[in-house]
Amino acid sequence: MNDSPASKIVGVGRALGSRVVSNRDFEATLDTTEEWISSRTGISERRFVGEDENCATLAIEASREALKHAGATGESVDLIVCATSTAPESMPSVACLVGEAIGAAGVGAFDLAAACTGFSYAASVADAMLCSERASRVLLIGADAMSTIVDQTDRSTAVLFGDGAGAVLLDRSDDPSGFVDHILGADGRMAPLGRAGHPGDEHKLYQNGREVFKFAVRILPEMVEKLLSRNHISLDDVQYIIPHQANARIIQAAARKMEVPDEKIVVNLDRFGNTSAASIPLSYPDIFDGLESGRYVITVGFGFGLTWAANLYRI
């Protein structure tokens, strides 16, 4: 386990695309049904960005909400890390745009790309910066506008994804609450299993859904077990597991393997679809007020690359 200081979550916020798209909406444009989508994925609806929105506007909105929730100002932030793969432009980074919007100009700001695993990667970086005293207050964001890189005529991917951003404000703290451990992994030999271009590119998202599915069901329990065993805690000590939200069947199969009761698993994909790097932090506002001091939250994800990562957080 880490020695103090720790990186403690002091504020959470989220933003979603303004267009609500239901499964039935896809029946009009694609050879699909509400029944196929809900039974194969668990998704009922997702949110797409509207005309004047993109990944950066969502990241800004979520960040403002997290600051407000913490009662903090943008000027007090000294590092901004944004996990994303759908920045509206390659340059500037989304993190720079967030810094400008919240009045934190002049502080370090960068994006980090690890596909759907991005938030867990970024959390480990933010934690390292705080614990090594290179930062004292970090704005950590996961933001993706997946509708800008998905082929809306491809039924096998169009129905899966959504647009959102989740932000958490992290403070260096001397109390025991904060990140305790992280796992990071990647294997580029599996890159062909999922690829996508930038927003606006011809090269839209492709995935081998079945293979990614199998990989996810294997890797999620492996990471959780590793975190538990090397930190000498049990599932009873864990209040919540927040998995990456790709498919309800992946989450259920992984939960069965781990023998985790449903109430410990946090789910948002029914409302938001797969929001890639935003999928995990979008859950924080749903659970934050009910977190029980002394227990743990595990965040655990996987994504293209393939990449995988997990974080253990002591409440």
Residues noted as catalytic: 116, 244, 274
CA distances to 166, 177, 225, 314 from 291, in Å: 18, 11, 22, 10
Sole binder of ligand UT7 in the list 86, 120, 239, 274 (CB under 6 A): 274
Nearer to ligand UT7, 7 or 279 (CB): 279
Write out the binding residues for ligand UT7, residues 223-252 only, by CB under 6 A: 246-247
Q: How far apart are CA 131 and CA 149, in angstroms?
A: 36
Per-residue contact string for residues 36-55; x = within reach of ligand UT7 by CB under 6 A: xx--xx--------------
Size of the site for ligand UT7 (CB under 6 A): 20
Q: Is 32 in the site for ligand UT7 (CB under 6 A)?
A: yes
In the complex, what is the shortest distance from the CB of residue 315 to ligand UT7, in angstroms, rounded to a whole number? 27
Q: How far apart are CA 209 and CA 49, in angstroms?
A: 24
Q: How far apart are CA 305 and CA 249, in angstroms?
A: 21
Nearer to ligand UT7, 97 or 258 (CB): 258
In the complex, what is the shortest distance from the CB of residue 214 to ligand UT7, in angstroms, rounded to a whole number? 9
Q: Is 86 in the site for ligand UT7 (CB under 6 A)?
A: no
In the complex, what is the shortest distance from the CB of residue 164 to ligand UT7, in angstroms, rounded to a whole number? 13
Contacts of 46 (CB under 8 A, 6+ apart): 21, 161, 162, 163, 271, 272, 273, 275
Nearer to ligand UT7, 249 or 264 (CB): 249
Nearer to ligand UT7, 254 or 298 (CB): 254
Q: Is 58 in the site for ligand UT7 (CB under 6 A)?
A: no
Strand 79-83 to 137-145 pairing: parallel
Nearer to ligand UT7, 190 or 287 (CB): 190
In the complex, what is the shortest distance from the CB of residue 241 to ligand UT7, in angstroms, rounded to a whole number? 17
Nearer to ligand UT7, 4 or 156 (CB): 156
Write out the binding residues for ligand UT7, residues 199-228 only, by CB under 6 A: 207, 209-210, 212-213, 216
Q: Output the residue with the shortest Cβ distance to ligand UT7.
A: 209
Q: Which residues bind ligand UT7 (CB under 6 A)?
A: 32, 36-37, 40-41, 116, 155-156, 159, 194, 207, 209-210, 212-213, 216, 246-247, 274, 303
